[in-house]
């Protein structure tokens, strides 16, 4: 713990030890982390992280990553890496995002040049249909932005897919306007493939994510691991609408493959067909990339991808997270443990909140402050969403206080002029550096489990350098955060409109 303290003093940041929940109106006092923990032995365990987390590798694809993994820290570097990947790709570019900003002409121009200069290059883009066809004030959308590439290079080289949730069909689809219809479910997976490396992230492809919207990004250079994500994107694209060029003013049209049911007309048939394709992909990946326990050493870095598509009957990540919480709890009871969990929004699902409250591990929860929430400057009812998250935070802090869980705290990211969109997990077991991290698209809320298509990667860290990089990433995020007290949250909750409390159950399931 002293090493963490020294590191943070040097960087003017906070460290990852336990934080006390304060009921006073003053700033919470940080406890002395040099004292022994009541949760068990604080010394190193004889068990390695690979042994502790071995069950996570069962019945799931596992990849040994031999080349160095790069942890990208800032959105500007993320954008530079995207442009570098596009420029140097020779065989394939696969981009999976919620949407592409309608003003991202520089990104589209880079794709255009890459396709022109490399005749063998294939481009596939997977976006959400509802978000990707939503128009801005000028009538532009992600689909309209990409359709000229389809027209110029042909649908064989440029495949643009738009996944549409089966939960919005028939009269409901006609009744719900743009933006609000996105509450029914979205394609939320963020992965960016360039030949044999992939950037796994939670960031979308728009200007704020390239400048002042903080997320997480990890570049993984491994052929087989990259093949997995390229295959995942290709599989989802099989049951998604295709964007085709059109000479009319709309500039594009959407077409579903003849062999797949239209989710807006035949949602049940669509779910059945999509489930079959996804199940086949996941089963094949598991068989082809199984790792025997005896073939793994504590110096191996392992990447375990998981997906969640409950609307399609796929609950892999949900089961994975439940197992992770159980493993951490079991370890913490005997050895002590500390963990950090981040989300763009304090809207963790009930099962995840229960898992944290019931866990023997210390927990820090990192979320956006109201000012760093993407909805802070929104108009209409959306402007009250940050207030809603404060209400939910206050309820959770009260629950933790009632259980005398002084080792659970909430940190809020607050950086002038920035918003926060990071998500993931850092698990330290009882060591000074993390042994595991999770990174990807889930915000760990109701939507992530029940409505959206999500993918994340659990990385068991075998390299001391990678452990240090992941630790520094966490410290960097926490350096812009502050502990929020119970009194502060109570004041926010009391200052919120009464009707907002009544809408809480609805918003918790939609946001």
511 CB-near residues (< 8 Å, 6+ apart): 183, 345, 347, 385, 388, 445, 447
Strand ranges of the sheet holding 436-440, from the earlier edge strand across to the other edge? 63-65, 301-308, 454-460, 436-440, 424-427, 338-342, 362-368, 408-413, 481-483
| CB contact at 8 A, 425 and 339 | yes
Name 365's bridge partners.
341, 410
Average pLDDT by stretches of 10, the chain with 511 residues: 39 40 36 33 68 94 97 98 98 98 96 98 98 94 96 96 97 89 96 98 98 98 98 98 81 92 97 98 97 85 98 98 98 96 94 97 96 73 78 92 95 96 95 96 96 98 97 98 92 76 68 63
Token code pair at residue 94: 């696969």
Closest CA to 351 of 312, 310, 384, 382: 310
- Rounded to two decimals, the pTM is 0.90
- CA atoms of 22 and 234, how far apart (whole Å): 49
Predicted confidence at residue 322, as pLDDT, reads: 98
Check residue 177 and report its DSSP letter. Answer: P
Q: What is the pLDDT of residues 1-45, one digit of tens each?
A: 334 334 433 443 344 443 333 333 333 333 333 223 333 344 556
Predicted confidence at residue 492, as pLDDT, reads: 82
Predicted confidence at residue 379, as pLDDT, reads: 65
Concatenating the DSSP letter of every residue in 327-390 gives: HHHHHHHHH--EEEEE-SSS-B-HHHHHHHHH-SSEEEEEEE-GGGSTTTT--GGGGGHHHHHH
Residue 233, helix vs strand vs coil? helix
Length of the chain equals 511
Residue whose pair of structure tokens reads 């048939």 in the numeric block = 269
Residue whose pair of structure tokens reads 């375990």 in the numeric block = 304
Closest CA to 509 of 442, 441, 444, 446: 446
- CA atoms of 61 and 329, how far apart (whole Å): 24
Predicted confidence at residue 319, as pLDDT, reads: 98
Active site residues: 188, 190, 195
């Amino acid at each position: 713990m002293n090493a963490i303290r020294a590191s943070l003093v040097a960087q003017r940041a906070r460290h990852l030890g336990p934080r006390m929940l304060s009921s006073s109106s003053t700033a919470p006092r940080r406890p002395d982390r040099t004292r022994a923990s009541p949760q068990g032995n604080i010394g190193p365990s004889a068990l390695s992280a690979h042994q502790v987390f071995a069950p996570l590798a069962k019945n799931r694809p596992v990849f040994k990553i031999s080349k160095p993994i790069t942890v990208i820290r800032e959105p500007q570097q993320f954008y530079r890496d995207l442009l570098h990947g596009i420029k140097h790709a020779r065989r394939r570019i696969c981009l999976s995002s919620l949407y592409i900003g309608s003003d991202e002409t520089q990104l589209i121009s880079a794709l255009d040049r890459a396709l022109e200069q490399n005749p063998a290059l294939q481009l596939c883009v997977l976006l959400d249909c509802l978000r990707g066809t939503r128009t801005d004030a000028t009538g532009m959308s992600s689909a309209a932005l990409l359709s000229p590439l389809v027209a110029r290079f042909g649908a064989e080289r440029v495949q643009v897919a738009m996944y549409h949730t089966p939960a919005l069909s028939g009269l409901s689809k006609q009744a719900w306007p743009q933006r609000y219809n996105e509450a029914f479910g979205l394609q939320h997976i963020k992965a960016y493939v360039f030949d044999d490396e992939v950037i796994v992230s939670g960031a979308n492809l728009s200007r704020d994510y390239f400048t002042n919207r903080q997320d997480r990004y990890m570049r993984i250079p491994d052929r087989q691991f990259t093949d997995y994500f390229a295959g995942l994107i290709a599989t989802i694209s099989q049951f998604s609408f295709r964007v085709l060029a059109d000479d009319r003013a709309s500039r594009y049209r959407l077409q579903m493959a003849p062999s797949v049911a239209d989710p807006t007309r035949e949602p049940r048939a669509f779910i059945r067909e999509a489930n079959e394709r996804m199940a086949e992909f996941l089963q094949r990946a598991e068989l082809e990339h199984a790792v025997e326990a005896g073939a793994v050493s504590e110096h191996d870095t392992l990447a375990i991808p998981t997906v969640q598509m409950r609307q399609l009957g796929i609950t892999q990540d949900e089961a994975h997270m439940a197992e992770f919480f159980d493993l951490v709890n079991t370890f913490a009871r005997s050895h002590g443990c500390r963990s950090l969990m981040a989300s763009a929004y304090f809207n963790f699902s009930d099962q995840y909140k229960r898992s944290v409250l019931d866990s023997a591990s210390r927990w820090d929860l990192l979320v956006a402050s109201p000012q760093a929430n993407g909805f802070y400057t929104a108009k209409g009812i959306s402007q009250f969403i940050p207030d809603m998250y404060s209400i939910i935070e206050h309820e959770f802090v009260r629950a933790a206080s009632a259980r005398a869980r002084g080792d659970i705290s909430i940190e809020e990211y607050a950086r002038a002029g920035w918003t926060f969109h990071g998500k993931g997990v850092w698990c330290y077991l009882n060591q000074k550096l993390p042994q595991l991290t999770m990174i990807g698209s889930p915000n760990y809320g109701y939507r992530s489990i029940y409505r959206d298509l999500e993918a994340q990667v659990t990385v068991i860290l075998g390299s001391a350098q990678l452990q240090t990089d992941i630790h520094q990433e966490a410290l960097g995020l926490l350096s812009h955060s502050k502990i929020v007290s119970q009194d502060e949250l109570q004041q926010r909750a009391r200052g919120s409109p009464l009707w907002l409390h009544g809408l809480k159950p609805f918003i918790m399931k939609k946001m």
